Chain A
Amino acid sequence: MAEDGTYEARVFAVETRFQRMARRPGGVPREQAIEQAWAQVEENKPGFDDWVNKELQSLTDVVASARPGANKEWAEMAVVHSRRLRDVGTTMGFELLTFVADSLCDVLDAIAAGAEYSMETIACHVDALFLARQRAFRGVKPDQVPELTSGLRRIVDQVNTSPG
């Protein structure tokens, strides 16, 4: 506390255990660490298909439960599954899956916030997710399928400009 009664910010040096320990000799060099990490990611890939299938099935079930005029809880549930797909797609080599899921997240967030929508909008995205999860699309970047990406962007723009 300063003499005039004001509270002065205190600035002080900190060395956390994380910093102290991480600086020890004997660590894994960056390039080797990254290579080993990618190897760990590769080990998880056999289970990725099953996981995506479960998430897509859950998403489909939630979307199927939506009824015109019903509350928007379904959208809040659906966006959870869509976020999960978005957050790991690229890491697992499916950038297009991340792109489509990200687009669907935008749509669902807008719906949850009150935007008007058509179920066709959701169905288009779910179909695109089923397409993007196929092994043939592994490594495919969104700009390699411009018809798909521009179409989804137009759909998202329509939803975002449609107040509920």
Chain B
Amino acid sequence: MASPTINLRDLVVLIADSSSYLSMIAHGILRGFGTSKVLEVRSSVSVLQTLSAQKIDILLCDARLPPHGGLTLTRAIRRKIDNENRMMPILIMTSDTRENTIKQARDAGANMVLAKPMSPASLYDRLAWIALTPRQFVDAPTYFGPDRRFKIEGYPGGVGRRKGDHEIVVAEEAGPALAQDDIDNLFSAARFGKD
């Protein structure tokens, strides 16, 4: 099966992370993907200011974004009725890959979670998945966001781990941190009665 191709040219990407160096790395990776319009901010206050000033096509947000964290920000964006960016895709970046944290991100309305340290392949595949996999929205008293009841049956075009991928191996964890595949699978839990 052919690898998916996504066209990120002319899309406006907002990177929200308190680390200017990590943002620079992510910015460079996106440039490699063909993205020409990338903005960077360092706090959730700046995110909200940016969203009120212009249309953003996708938000890459650190889970620990100061001052209140990326999940609180995600909930605020999803709940604000008069916000034209309310249904904008939100990709949460986090080094805390414990199951509970991933579920919290999902339940806050994030489209996907990306484990840090990131690799170009892991970012590309998640962007492709968001772009190429239609997903309904749910408006309920306690939740507004992408339908949490879905199943990832491989990334579009069958992408995932391939022999040619650059390998990124972080140290083995004795604790309960999840691998990126496990993180992705947690976004499929509700429909299948696991959560």
Contacts and interface: CB of A to CB of B under 8 A. Distances in A.
B11 interface: yes
A54 B39 CA distance: 24
B76 interface: no
B4 interface: yes
Given A17-B11, A27-B8, A87-B117, 15 more contacts: A10-B139, A19-B89, A19-B131, A22-B7, A22-B132, A28-B8, A30-B125, A31-B3, A33-B120, A37-B30, A37-B31, A43-B28, A83-B19, A90-B170, A99-B170
B54 interface: no
Nearest to A92: B25
B116 A40 contact: no
**Which range contains the number of A residues in contact with the other chain?**
35 or more
A136 interface: no
B171 interface: yes
The secondary-structure label for the interface of chain B is loop
Interface of B: 3-11, 18-19, 21-22, 24-25, 28-34, 55, 57-58, 64, 87-89, 95, 116-121, 123-125, 127-128, 130-132, 134-141, 143, 147, 157, 159, 164-166, 168-172, 174
Contacts of A99: 170-171
Chain A CB count within 10 A is highest, among B18, B32, B121, B125, for: B32
A9 B139 contact: yes
The secondary-structure label for the interface of chain A is helix
A102 B94 CA distance: 13
A24 B141 CA distance: 35
Interface stretch (A61-69, A114-122, A123-131, A141-149): A141-149
Nearest to B4: A30
Interface string A34-70: 1111111101100000010000000000000000000
Chain B CB count within 10 A is highest, among A10, A30, A36, A43, for: A30
Contacts of B32: 33-41
A150 to B, nearest CB: 11
B127 to A, nearest CB: 7
A12 B139 contact: yes
A22 B170 contact: no
Given A14-B136, A31-B164, A37 B10 contact: no
A25 B64 CA distance: 36
Contacts of B33: 28, 33, 36-37
A14 B137 contact: yes
A15 B89 CA distance: 10
B131 A22 contact: yes
A84 B22 contact: yes
A56 B128 CA distance: 36
A141 to B, nearest CB: 6
B87 A16 contact: yes
Contact of B117 (A38, A39, A90): A90
A30 B22 CA distance: 22
Nearest to B137: A14
27 contacts: A10-B139, A11-B137, A11-B147, A18-B88, A19-B89, A23-B7, A28-B33, A30-B5, A31-B3, A33-B33, A33-B34, A33-B120, A36-B33, A37-B30, A37-B120, A37-B124, A38-B166, A44-B25, A84-B22, A86-B95, A86-B117, A88-B21, A95-B169, A102-B95, A141-B169, A142-B172, A143-B172
